[in-house]
Amino acid sequence: MSSLSLNNIKPTVASAKAFLERGRQKMFINGEWVDAYDGSTFETIDPGTGTVINEVAKGSIAEINDAVAAARAALESDQWHNMLPVERAQILNKIADIMDENIDELSELETLDQGKPLYVSRWAEIPGAIDQFRYFAGIARTIEGQTITSSIGYQPEGKKTFSYTLRHPLGVVACITPWNSPLVLTAMKIAPALAAGCTIVLKPATLTSLTAVRLVEICQQAGLPEGVLNLVTGSGSTVGEALAMHPDVDKVSFTGSTEIGRRVIKSAGESNLKKVQVELGGKSPQIVMPDADLDLTIPGVANAIFFNGGQVCVAGSRLIVHKSISDQLVEGVAKYGREMVMGHGLDPKTQMGPLVAKSHAESVKKYVDDAVSVGAELISGGHILGSSGCYMEPTIVGNVEQDMVIFKDEVFGPVLTVSVFEDDEQALMLANDSPYGLAASIWTEGLSNTHRIADSINAGTVWVNSHLMFDAALPIGGWKQSGWGQESGHQAVSNYLKDKTVTSII
């Protein structure tokens, strides 16, 4: 069994403490910080201790209507509409600079709110969020159309045609984000949307709204004009749904579960046919070939599933390992998991923190218990530790059949299933047997095998001898039911642009 070390942990960064102590967090509409119009709030909880750390304004449809109206007015305002690309880039860089100055505060808030170990916030996710703003500050000055030589032959005698394209901001964008990596996933939407000249209504996940509030303050401090970025906190079923249905929203950029993604697509279709981008769930395979370097592969496979408690859309949750090395590999990963230090995210020794909420940990454990009840083998872990009810052990489940729920569903916790293969065809068949197609990894020393398998995997991202490698310049997005579209990379700005073709007789 893993051990849980719970020390008496408190935030140490003065500005993080001050943020939490100032009372309830407000929403931001048309350049003003406001309470919910009816005064409602919801509590936000530190999953490491189960205690309430803050209250947040709970918005409703009235606030959504005002936020959308503010975003529409800002979109059409001279100040934003006519802002030079270089000025937009300066604001994006300034946002990044202020985030950098406050990186310790942002990291502590993210860890307290979500539970993730501080090293994940401080060295991976908050720097990743900052980098999105810097990257798209550069892209803001590269948005350009084309001139096109057409083959039109029916213009008046002696004349010819001249065609070109213009790129316009797509309009008012609703950004709806999940709780697993709150700030970086928000930055992946806001940075390209601002670079494109859109205006935004942001709705963060209820479980983790704090760093969104802080980010919006930073954007205001960086000089973003009023109405360009609005924040409405509150529940997905009211404010999220109201955004997806709203007739004056031009696009919803959604990251979250496949189930809610479907609802967003339906709402968009039933309202004004707004554009929809959905970045959804995953069930990513890790294929380990017989020639894999186990010194690299054992910690690599373990990290791919246990990092952030497996609460990562691209977590490598299905191990597909060659029969000849499966015992050695699985024992190595199980040992790695057992030795991980579990504790409060703010404890510097912590390698795996709590899951985001007690109800979520219970749902993860239920997947494991149900699998065992239908014949799967619990190889390691499987228990919830600690009084907050959120600490789920690193868990490995063997004897997994393809028709078991645990092989198919996204568990979104530190749970690895093991399937064994005998030849490459079987490995590929198992890897591709999923409704999802977000990511995959291949662990091998064989070069030609690598590229053949990478080519045959049905997923938007393939890593070789690694997993969870991200960069603002690398596009990421899902195939199959893992989503529509890609974020990051220079093409991501096109998610927030609309094109126009102009043809004239000259």
Residues forming contacts to ligand NAP in the complex (CB under 6 A) are 176-180, 185, 203, 205-207, 235-237, 240-241, 244, 255-257, 260, 263-264, 279-282, 313, 410, 412, 438, 478, 482-483
User: Tokens in use for 402?
Assistant: 């393809």
Query: Closer to ligand NAP at the Cβ: 56 or 325?
Result: 56
User: Contact, 289 vs 301, CB < 8 A?
Assistant: no
Name the catalytic one among 63, 241, 279, 393: 279
175 is catalytic: no
Closest distance of CB 258 from ligand NAP, Å: 6
CB atoms within 10 A of CB 52: 10
Closest distance of CB 287 from ligand NAP, Å: 20
Query: Closer to ligand NAP at the Cβ: 367 or 421?
Result: 367
110 is catalytic: no
User: Contact, 203 vs 71, CB < 8 A?
Assistant: no
Query: Closer to ligand NAP at the Cβ: 179 or 367?
Result: 179
Report the residue closest to ligand NAP, judged by CB.
236
Nearest to 91 by CA among 221, 203, 212, 186: 221
Query: Closer to ligand NAP at the Cβ: 187 or 427?
Result: 187
Closest distance of CB 476 from ligand NAP, Å: 7
Cα separation of 198 and 170, whole Å?
6
Query: Closer to ligand NAP at the Cβ: 107 or 180?
Result: 180
Closest distance of CB 259 from ligand NAP, Å: 7
User: Contact, 288 vs 321, CB < 8 A?
Assistant: yes
User: Tokens in use for 33?
Assistant: 């910080």
Backbone angles phi, psi at 5, to 5 degrees: -115, 110
Which amino acid type is present at position 422? Answer: E
Give the DSSP per-residue string, 30-68.
TTEEE--TT--EEEEEETTTTEEEEEEE---HHHHHHHH
User: Tokens in use for 80?
Assistant: 């934003």
The set of residues, in sequence order, having a beta carbon less than 8 Å from that of 34 and lying 6+ positions away, is: 26, 27, 28, 57, 63
User: Contact, 195 vs 20, CB < 8 A?
Assistant: no
Query: Closer to ligand NAP at the Cβ: 11 or 483?
Result: 483
User: Contact, 106 vs 9, CB < 8 A?
Assistant: no
User: Contact, 53 vs 46, CB < 8 A?
Assistant: yes
Query: Is residue 289 helix, strand or coil?
Result: coil
Name the catalytic one among 313, 390, 410, 487: 313
Backbone angles phi, psi at 256, to 5 degrees: 170, -155
Query: Closer to ligand NAP at the Cβ: 212 or 334?
Result: 212
Closest distance of CB 411 from ligand NAP, Å: 10
Cα separation of 197 and 252, whole Å?
15
Residues annotated as catalytic (active site), given as ranges? 279, 313
